[in-house]
């Protein structure tokens, strides 16, 4: 497992060109990323395509929480001068793809961005080459775009990989193709993955899931890549309900069953008024002028992220042991710590029995998110013979935490 995360520091339209304002308070960062809150472990940030490398104090605020958050960046477009067609500043808003004659300069741009962030105190874990390379509306009021082909990815990575290595950045993960849906991944990534000279530079296969099906990406898995879900949200009016939280808990579960190593929500918090809807985990003063309001989807993410930390592995579990109940389990090979995440979509309490196999534990602590609880620890109980039973609250997510012996 690599973790669970969200985006911050992204922009659209004129906000992108004036670099902000991107803000997050210490209390908001604490709620989302700190170990006292939901404890997300991944942060997706924006790679500016306008030729500049602005610093973002909000990112440093998150890192100051001391949670070991890994930061990675996504390009929404190559800089206009490295795209085909319009090379003016407005060129980043066109659908045009990368210019193959500029691959060297484009690769150096990414190298320089990573170096700048590292030197400014924001260590970069990975770089995704293009946000949704399979989708473009071409609207300047929306966001930058760029449509890439499978050959674009293949040929550019053959330039970028060596450039990163020569700059001493070989440990930075190269991520592709970050499509808008999972079905499009093979169409854009397989050309690279089927060429060993290209595949050796790629560490992570990434996708959004705005449409299509959730299934294992077998080719990437066979090549040793980790699978990441990197963006999902719904729009419209704010819905912080438990019903909404359960919907996303099931989505996370389904990705875990598809052998994903990471799952991300879209926006962590509303930095612009146009995001005062259902696409954030937290709605605060930007939207209401009042105190921070968290959605249940944040806390069900916490049922995973707080306990399933980077380096854990998913272990075998009966995924559907009872009607309306979903189960996944994870274990740290080093410490023996484990987490069993149980989703109860039934409206009433549901009794369920567990049996630990291959390890035992003397005590287990349940942590519950429900209509009345936000990831709250319940009384620990003893375990006898590796077996225990529990009454799951209706419409809840419960994580059972312990240390294997």
Give me the DSSP letters along 266-329: EEEE--SGGG-STTEEEE-HHHHSSS-EE-HHHHHHHHHHTTS-TT-EEE---S-SBTTEEEEE
CATH number of the domain to which 358 belongs? 2.60.40.1180
Q: Is the pLDDT of residue 274 over 70?
A: no
Domain match, 288 and 189 both? yes
Give the mean pLDDT of 177-183. Answer: 96
For residues 39 and 163, membership in a common domain is answered with: yes
Position 397 scores a pLDDT of 98
Q: 349 and 328 in one domain?
A: yes
Residue 11 in this model has a pLDDT that exceeds 80: no
Give the whole-angstrom CA distance, residue 2 versus residue 284: 28
Mean pLDDT calculated for residue range 233-262:
96
pLDDT at 285: 67
Residues 198 and 284 in one domain: yes
User: How much is the average pLDDT of 349-366?
Assistant: 94
Range 117-146 average pLDDT: 88
Q: Are residues 269 and 140 in the same domain?
A: yes
Q: Say whether pLDDT at 31 is over 80.
A: yes
Which of 12-16, 166-170, 278-282 has maximum average pLDDT?
Answer: 166-170
- pLDDT for position 19: 45
Q: Do residues 189 and 282 share a domain?
A: yes
Cα separation values, 120 from 53, 62, 114, 188, 350, Å = 10, 14, 10, 33, 51
> Considering Cα of 227, then 231, then 233, then 235, what sign does the dihedral take?
negative
**Are 271 and 342 within one domain?**
no
pLDDT band for position 111 (cuts 50, 70, 90): very high
DSSP states along 139-199:
-TTT-------HHHHHHHHHHHHHHHHHTT-TTSEEEEEEESSGGGHHHHHHHHHTSHHHH
Q: Stretch 245-257: mean pLDDT, rounded? A: 98
Tell me what the mean pLDDT of segment 115-133 comes to.
Answer: 96
- Whole-angstrom Cα distance, residue 72 to residue 156? 19
Q: How many domains would you assign to the chain? A: 2
Least confident of 57-71, 154-168, 175-189, 203-217: 57-71
Per-residue pLDDT tens digits for 235-247: 888 899 999 999 9
Residue 400 has pLDDT above 60, yes or no: yes
pLDDT above 70 (res 18): no
Same domain as 247, residue 126: yes
DSSP readout, 244-272? HHHHHHHHHHHHHHTTEEEEEEEEEE--S
* Nearest-angstrom CA–CA distance, 228 and 126: 12
Determine the structural domain holding residue 260 and report its residue range.
Answer: 3-311
Q: Considering 277, 293, 311, which residue would you say is the last residue of a domain?
A: 311
Question: Considering only CA atoms, which of 113, 106, 98 is closest in space to residue 146?
Answer: 98
**Whether residue 265 sits in one domain with residue 323:** no
CATH number at residue 96: 3.20.20.80
Q: At which of 311, 339, 373 does a domain end? A: 311
Mean pLDDT throughout 342-364?
95
Of 257, 283, 311, which residue constitutes the final position of a domain?
A: 311
pLDDT classification of 127: cutoffs 50, 70, 90: very high
Same domain, 246 and 322: no
Same domain? For 127 and 271 the reply is yes
Confidence of residue 58 (pLDDT cuts 50, 70, 90): confident
Residues 250 and 340 in one domain: no
């Amino acid at each position: 497992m690599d973790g669970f995360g969200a985006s911050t520091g992204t922009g659209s339209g004129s906000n992108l060109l004036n670099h902000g304002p991107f803000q997050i308070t210490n209390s908001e960062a604490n709620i989302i990323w700190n170990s006292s809150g939901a404890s997300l472990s991944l942060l997706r940030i924006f790679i500016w395509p306008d030729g500049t490398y602005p610093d973002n104090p909000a990112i440093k605020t998150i890192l100051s929480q001391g949670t070991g958050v890994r930061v990675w960046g996504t390009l929404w477009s190559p800089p206009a001068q490295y795209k085909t067609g319009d090379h003016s500043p407005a060129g980043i808003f066109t659908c045009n793809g990368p210019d193959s004659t500029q691959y060297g300069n484009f690769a150096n741009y990414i190298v320089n961005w990573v170096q700048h962030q590292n030197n400014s105190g924001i260590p970069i874990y990975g770089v995704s080459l293009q946000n949704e390379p399979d989708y473009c509306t071409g609207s300047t009021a929306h966001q930058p775009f760029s449509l890439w082909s499978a050959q674009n990815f293949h040929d550019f990575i053959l330039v970028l990989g060596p450039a990163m290595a020569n700059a001493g950045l070989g440990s930075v993960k190269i991520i592709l193709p970050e499509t808008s849906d999972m079905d499009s991944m093979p169409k854009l990534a397989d050309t690279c993955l089927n060429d060993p000279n290209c595949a050796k530079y790629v560490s992570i296969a990434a996708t959004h899931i705005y449409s299509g099906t959730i299934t294992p990406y077998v080719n990437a898995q066979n090549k040793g890549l980790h699978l990441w879900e990197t963006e999902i949200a719904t729009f419209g009016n704010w819905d912080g309900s438990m019903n909404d939280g359960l919907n996303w808990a099931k989505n996370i579960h389904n990705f875990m069953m598809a052998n994903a190593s990471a799952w991300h929500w879209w926006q962590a918090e509303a930095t612009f008024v146009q995001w005062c809807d259902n696409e954030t985990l937290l709605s605060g003063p930007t939207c209401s002028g009042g105190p921070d309001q968290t959605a249940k989807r944040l806390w069900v993410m916490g049922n995973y992220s707080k306990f399933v930390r980077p380096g854990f592995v998913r272990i075998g579990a009966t995924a559907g042991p009872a009607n309306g109940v979903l189960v996944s389990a994870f274990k740290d090979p080093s410490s023996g710590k484990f987490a069993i995440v149980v989703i109860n979509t039934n409206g009433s309490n549901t009794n369920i029995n567990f049996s630990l196999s291959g390890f035992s534990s003397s005590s287990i602590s349940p942590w519950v998110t429900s209509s009345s609880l936000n990831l709250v620890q319940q009384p620990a109980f003893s375990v006898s013979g590796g077996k225990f039973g529990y009454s799951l609250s209706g419409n809840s997510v419960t994580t059972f935490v312990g240390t294997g012996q």
